[in-house]
Chains A and B, each alone.
Chain A
Amino acid sequence: MKRYFSLVKTFFNYHLIRNLEFRSEVIGWSIISIMWPLLTLLSVHLIFGQVDSMAGWTKSEVLITVCLYEIFIGLIWIFIVPSIRNFTQSIKKGEFDFYLTKPINSRFIASVNFFEFDQYPRLLMLAGILFLFLRQQGDISLVNVLFGLFLLVVGLVVYYNIFFFIATFIFWIIAVINLEDLFNSLILTGRYPIYIFQKGLFSFFTFVIPAAFIATFPAQAMLGKINYNVLFIAGFVLLTTSIISQWFWNFALKRYSSASS
Chain B
Amino acid sequence: MRKYWAFFRINIFNTITYRGSLLIWLMGNLVSLLVMVAVWLSVGTSNSLVGGYTKSGLITYYVFSGFLWWIVGWHCFEWVREIIKDGTITTQNLTKPLSFYWQVFFEELGWHTVGTPIGLLASLFSLFIVSQFTPLSLEFHNLIFLIPSLIIGTLIIFTINITLGLLTFFFTETESLNHIIWAGIFIFGGQSVPLSFFPGIFQTIVQFLPTRYMLSFPLELLFGKLTSWEIAWGFGVGLIWVAVLCLAYKILWNRGTKAYSSFGS
Say yes or no for A22: interface residue by CB 8 A criterion.
yes
Give the shortest distance, in Å, between B84 (CB) and chain A (any CB): 16
B193→A182 contact, CB < 8 A: no
A55→B197 contact, CB < 8 A: no
A contacts with B, residue count (CB < 8 A): 43
Give the shortest distance, in Å, between B30 (CB) and chain A (any CB): 8
Given A32-B179, A47-B39, A175-B17, 9 more A-B residue pairs with CB atoms under 8 Å apart are A31-B176, A40-B192, A49-B199, A50-B47, A55-B42, A55-B43, A177-B18, A181-B28, A185-B32
A185→B45 contact, CB < 8 A: no
A49→B24 contact, CB < 8 A: no
A25→B175 contact, CB < 8 A: yes
Chain B residues with CB under 8 Å of A36's CB are 179, 183
Say yes or no for A201: interface residue by CB 8 A criterion.
yes
Choose among B38, B51, B172 the residue that contacts A50 (Cβ–Cβ < 8 A): B51
Chain A residues with CB under 8 Å of B180's CB are 32
Chain A residues with CB under 8 Å of B20's CB are 173, 175-176
Say yes or no for B21: interface residue by CB 8 A criterion.
yes
Chain B interface mostly helix, strand, loop or mixed?
A: helix
A188→B31 contact, CB < 8 A: yes
The complex places the Cα of A31 from the Cα of B192 at a distance, in Å, of 21
Chain A residues with CB under 8 Å of B173's CB are 22, 24-25, 28
Choose among A28, A49, A181 the residue that contacts B176 (Cβ–Cβ < 8 A): A28
Give the segment of A87-95, A189-197, A229-237 that binds chain B: A189-197
Interface residues of B in 88-143 (CB under 8 A from A): none
A35→B24 contact, CB < 8 A: no
Say yes or no for A260: interface residue by CB 8 A criterion.
no
Say yes or no for A46: interface residue by CB 8 A criterion.
yes
Chain A residues with CB under 8 Å of B187's CB are 39, 42-43
B42→A185 contact, CB < 8 A: no
Chain A interface mostly helix, strand, loop or mixed?
A: helix
B186→A39 contact, CB < 8 A: yes
Say yes or no for B251: interface residue by CB 8 A criterion.
no
Write the residues of chain B forming the contact surface with A, with a CB cutoff of 8 angstroms. Answer: 17-18, 20-21, 24-25, 27-28, 31-32, 34-35, 38-39, 41-47, 50-51, 171-177, 179-180, 183, 186-187, 192-193, 197-199
Question: Which 9 pairs show the lowest CB-CB distances between chains A and B?
Answer: A28-B176, A25-B173, A185-B28, A55-B42, A196-B42, A43-B192, A53-B44, A51-B45, A51-B43
Chain A residues with CB under 8 Å of B175's CB are 25, 28-29
The complex places the Cα of A234 from the Cα of B157 at a distance, in Å, of 43
In the complex with contacts A31-B176, A177-B18, A182-B27 CB distance below 8 A = yes
Choose among A22, A51, A192 the residue that contacts B50 (Cβ–Cβ < 8 A): A51
Residue in B closest to A194 when the chains form the complex, CB atoms: B38
Chain A residues with CB under 8 Å of B186's CB are 39, 43
Chain B residues with CB under 8 Å of A43's CB are 186-187, 192-193
Chain B residues with CB under 8 Å of A39's CB are 183, 186-187, 192
Residue in A closest to B46 when the chains form the complex, CB atoms: A52
Chain A residues with CB under 8 Å of B35's CB are 188-189, 191-192, 196
Give the shortest distance, in Å, between B115 (CB) and chain A (any CB): 13
The complex places the Cα of A35 from the Cα of B198 at a distance, in Å, of 18
A178→B21 contact, CB < 8 A: yes
B177→A28 contact, CB < 8 A: yes
Residue in A closest to B53 when the chains form the complex, CB atoms: A50
Residue in A closest to B20 when the chains form the complex, CB atoms: A176
Residue in A closest to B58 when the chains form the complex, CB atoms: A50
Residue in B closest to A193 when the chains form the complex, CB atoms: B42
A35→B179 contact, CB < 8 A: yes
